[in-house]
Amino acid sequence: MTTVLSGLRQETISSLDRLSPNQQLLPLTAITNQRDRLEIGGCDVVELVEQYGSPLYILDEVSLRTACQQYRDALKQHYQGTSQVLYASKAWSCLAVCAIVGSEGLGIDVVSAGEILTALRAGVSSSLIYFHGNNKSVEELSYALESSCTVVVDNWHELKTLDRLAQEQTSKPRIMLRLTPGIECHTHEYIQTGHIDSKFGFDPNEIEAVFAFLAASSLNCIGIHAHIGSQIFELQPHQDIGGVMVQWFQLAGEKYGLQFSELNIGGGLGIRYVESDDPPSIEDWIKAVVAGVTEAFIGAGLPLPKLLCEPGRSLVGSTCVTAYTIGGSKTVPDIRTYITVDGGMSDNPRPITYQSQYRAVVANHMSAALSQTVTIAGKHCESGDILIKDIQLPTTNPGDILVVFGTGAYNYSMASNYNRLPKPAAVLVEGGASSLIIKRETREDLLRQDCLPERLCS
């Protein structure tokens, strides 16, 4: 039996793999230890900060592997055709994360040459790397073709460029088409990508012209791709994708002789950032997708395609926390008390960008009573640099360790050097051991790319 923190309650369960990581506020291995401190992966968070400094990203390997396994195994269990899970690495692209998901049999969804290089250096086979993006450069496309990646084509300019580049290849490049399915879902406006008015993908009224072009091209189009957004808690929109996509499979084959074999339905499953969030489990999401695709293709008399999905946030988001050191405080009478930390919008831009909400605890006083309502302010020169507004915490003192949950997705990957702050370190924890996976930047690193013209030198 294992004792873990589920939400903020300590519970005993028989196996961690019974929990869907995206439904948890904390990583699966989180507990309160005998010193009344938060422990993750068998490592005391306060001791991690003492060793590696703060802010500090702390990634729980058990949680990440469990999420990978649940996606992979649920697809194998519920889908009668072949399948492949791809990690949407824009959520967090680094060697360690890519190596872990690759070792669990997942491929990688990339959106730049840098992410291709990271996946390859992490040991992921190029046959399992799918290259997305709405404005891929000629240099990036050439690199993807040289690396034998599959390119997910987004627009006419890219399609024609690839056809020209294909003339120099010994074999036909593998591509997929990204199509806009026209499915709306309830999520933040900036992360809705499946509706008609989107910068991504070919519009439905272009499809026949695209198919005609492909039929006469030097490209090997293996299938189609759609994505309807992210941080989605609804199952129905994902179940509906199959019915939309099957008509394009049918049209491509019957009218243009294009034999598609792969269907990529994107990702989008949400995670639990705060107590009120209630996302479906990974398995329930897979079952909904499989039901929609299976019904649509069998109903159309078509063989089941190879089914691909691209989870990002729901794989890595809940597996990581960020530890900060608390500094001073300020009370505005009858309005608000601010508590400051040694990071903020440079290591987590999501609150100021998306108005995202988070949950946090004081890691060195886990059982202390929640005695005050405070706002957690970052250290940057921006009034909007607020990590969490109006959260209940125990009484805090300078030097206490504040841990913010659910920071694995789009935190490090969107981090900046705003105000010339070095980016934080990241550590991987498992079985009581910690490993540095990203070094902390130094002040000298901030100047590494700067060039000072000679005439400006004193």
> Of residues 149, 185, 381, 457, which has the active-site annotation?
381
Q: How is residue 365 written in tokens?
A: 């006083």
Residue 426 CA to residue 22 CA, distance in Å, equals 20
Amino acid at site 65? R
Whose CA is closest to 355, among 318, 312, 386, 376?
A: 386
Q: How is residue 375 written in tokens?
A: 């706002």
Residue 178 CA to residue 181 CA, distance in Å, equals 9
The count of other CB atoms within 10 Å of the CB of residue 304 is 17
The count of other CB atoms within 10 Å of the CB of residue 259 is 11
By CB atoms closer than 10 A (0-12, 13-18, 19+), residue 244 is buried
The residues with which 332 forms a beta bridge, in sequence order, are: 336
Mark out the alpha helices in 106-180 (DSSP H runs).
113-121, 138-146, 156-166
Residue 268 CA to residue 195 CA, distance in Å, equals 14
Dihedral over alpha carbons 147, 152, 157, 160 (to 10 degrees): 60
Residue 214 CA to residue 156 CA, distance in Å, equals 11
* Burial track 112-146 (b if 16+ CB lie within 10 A, e otherwise): bbebbebbbebebebebbbbbbeebeeebbbbbbe
Going by the DSSP 8-state scheme, the letter that residue 41 receives in this structure is: T
Side by side, the strands of the sheet bearing 43-44 are 31-32, 38-40, 43-44
Residue 409 CA to residue 350 CA, distance in Å, equals 10
Q: How is residue 146 written in tokens?
A: 């040289």
Place of tokens 């002789």: 257
Check if 94 is active-site: no
Do the beta carbons of residue 267 and residue 193 sit within 8 Å?
no
Residue 176 CA to residue 233 CA, distance in Å, equals 27
Q: In sequence order, what DSSP letters do the residues of 193-240 get, joined into one string?
A: -SSSS-SSSB-GGGHHHHHHHHHTSS-EEEEEE----SSB--SHHHHH
The residues annotated with a catalytic role in the active site are: 381
